[in-house]
């Protein structure tokens, strides 16, 4: 049975990074860098390093042969080491992996994978952010009803919605900057982190290997790079997925039949339901929400991997083969899905206006209350008058303006045209336009710098 993570919810680019072939290629790349660094320090002959570097690729080290050896010895990294050693000529194979422990290779190779995968996520988040910024400006003038607790609250704009989401993705990009700076760590420190097998050249050797691979050195390790580094990755992915879920959930709610302000893209031949032809389900947003639930669950697994016993045990190994690839693959898929959803999102401006006027101005009760206070009424009295009027109008379908103006306390303080203006939503969106413009300016400046 095939795993849907790889067959249904994966992009080709991320799938390639976490393929078996790419994993072994990274292991071989680290082995080559180790040999080159050792030759430069006089630990092994230069001819040996040249031979190892030449053969450390899948052209010489065949995947089939690696699997044959692994079947015999039940150790995947050592199978690669042995397969590389046996294709090296002139006895140079004996210098492969000299002094290294398995996780010198594996953790350093993970850092290479993280670096590549995080860059893929970064580029996709940049694309999504740019689309959200454009939407924010395109809809900066589209006033809609804001909702809190599922109830009509105050007017806002669709520009505010898109700008808020772009601010989410912007923070994700800033978190990515932290990961690049702090968590792309390799090691070459031996079985318990002391570098004993490398003699007095261990520290210099590790630096040379990481320099060749473009990685940062872990300052100190035991047998492994500490797993809080890995948990950083998983937590970032879960947090990013939750942000995407927030967007997806809003789209789902706004696509409800009773609201119907936005619609996911829907192709001509697409089917919404197997039995109800009229359905147009927000199934892509629902899928994003579903996958986010799974990604959140992986955080607890990554946290359990941090307190390994003594200089390490193997309890992290099996689950990391699952949670790391799944996390990166699924998040990239979710970002790409969201890019297409937002890019082609349909906004029904007619329904936006209908919902804005659904309660005949009741949602502007706050504005009327503040105006009455400004005209000398006690806040508690103004609150009660406006609240009771709003409830009565809501329950009986009465006109909010007429009921307010018929109240002598209100009439004595507010002119008729003044009250009408107070119930015009276009005059009560505060600094929303400036807020959106400042968000767009700030984030675009970051994106331009980040691109350089």
Are 118 and 183 contacting, i.e. CB atoms less than 8 angstroms apart? no
Catalytic residue among 207, 273, 300, 445: 273
Distance CA 75, CA 61 (A): 16
Q: Which residues pair with 121 in a beta bridge?
A: none
For residue 237, give every residue at least 6 positions away whose Cβ sits within 8 Å of its Cβ, in sequence order, or none.
295, 298, 327, 328, 331
Q: What does the block give as tokens for 170?
A: 């912007």
The DSSP letter of residue 280 is -
Catalytic residue among 90, 149, 278, 310: 149
Q: What does the block give as tokens for 128?
A: 């999504």
SS3 of 360-376: the string is: CCHHHHHHHHHHHHHCC
Distance CA 301, CA 85 (A): 36
Note if 273 is an active site residue: yes
Note if 450 is an active site residue: no
Distance CA 121, CA 329 (A): 10
Query: Which parts of 363-431 fold into alpha helices (H)?
Result: 365-374, 379-396, 400-405, 408-411, 416-422
Q: What does the block give as tokens for 347?
A: 């906004």
For residue 261, give every residue at least 6 positions away whose Cβ sits within 8 Å of its Cβ, in sequence order, or none.
144, 254, 255, 347, 348, 351, 352, 355
Half-sphere CA count of 427, side-chain side, radius 13 A:
12
- The residue among 145, 153, 136 whose CA lies nearest residue 354 is 145
Are 357 and 266 contacting, i.e. CB atoms less than 8 angstroms apart? no
- Catalytic site positions: 149, 273
């Amino acid at each position: 049975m095939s795993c849907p993570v790889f067959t249904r919810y994966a992009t080709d680019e991320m799938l390639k990074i976490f393929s078996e072939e790419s994993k072994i290629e990274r292991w071989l790349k680290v082995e080559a860098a180790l040999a080159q660094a050792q030759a430069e320090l006089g630990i092994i002959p230069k001819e040996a390093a040249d031979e190892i570097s030449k053969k450390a690729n899948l052209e010489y080290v065949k995947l089939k042969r690696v699997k044959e050896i692994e079947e015999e010895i039940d150790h995947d990294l050592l199978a690669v080491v042995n397969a590389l050693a046996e294709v090296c000529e002139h006895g140079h194979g004996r210098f492969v992996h000299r002094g290294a422990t398995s996780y010198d290779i594996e953790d350093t190779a993970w850092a290479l994978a993280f670096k590549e995968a995080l860059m893929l996520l970064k580029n996709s988040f940049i694309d999504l952010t740019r689309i959200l910024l454009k939407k924010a400006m395109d809809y900066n003038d589209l006033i809609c009803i804001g909702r809190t607790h599922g109830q009509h609250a105050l007017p806002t704009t669709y520009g505010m919605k898109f700008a808020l989401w772009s601010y989410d993705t912007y923070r994700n990009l800033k978190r990515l900057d932290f990961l690049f700076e702090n968590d792309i760590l390799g090691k070459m420190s031996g079985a318990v982190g002391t570098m004993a097998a490398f003699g007095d050249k261990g520290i210099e050797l590790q630096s040379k290997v990481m320099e060749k691979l473009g990685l940062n050195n872990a300052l100190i390790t035991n047998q492994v790079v500490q797993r809080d580094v890995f948990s950083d990755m998983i937590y970032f992915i879960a947090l990013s997925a939750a942000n995407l879920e927030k967007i997806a959930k809003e789209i789902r709610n706004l696509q409800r039949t009773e609201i119907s302000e936005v619609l996911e893209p829907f192709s001509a031949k697409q089917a919404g339901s197997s039995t109800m032809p009229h359905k147009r389900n927000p199934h892509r947003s629902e899928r994003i929400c579903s996958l986010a639930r799974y990604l959140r669950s992986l955080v607890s697994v990554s946290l359990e991997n941090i307190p390994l016993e003594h200089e390490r045990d193997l309890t992290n190994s099996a689950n990391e083969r699952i949670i790391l690839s799944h996390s990166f693959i699924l998040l990239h898929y979710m970002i790409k899905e969201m890019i297409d959803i937002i890019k082609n999102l349909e906004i029904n401006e007619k329904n936006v206006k209908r919902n804005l006027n659904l309660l005949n101005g009741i949602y502007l009760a706050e504005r009327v209350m503040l105006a009455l206070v400004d005209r000398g009424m006690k806040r508690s009295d103004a609150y009660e008058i406006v609240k009771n009027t709003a409830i009565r109008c809501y329950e009986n379908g009465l006109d909010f303006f007429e009921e307010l103006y018929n109240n002598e306390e209100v009439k004595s303080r507010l002119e008729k045209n003044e009250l009408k203006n107070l119930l015009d939503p276009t005059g009560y969106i505060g600094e929303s336009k400036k807020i959106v413009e400042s968000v767009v300016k700030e984030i675009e400046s970051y994106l331009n710098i980040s691109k350089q």
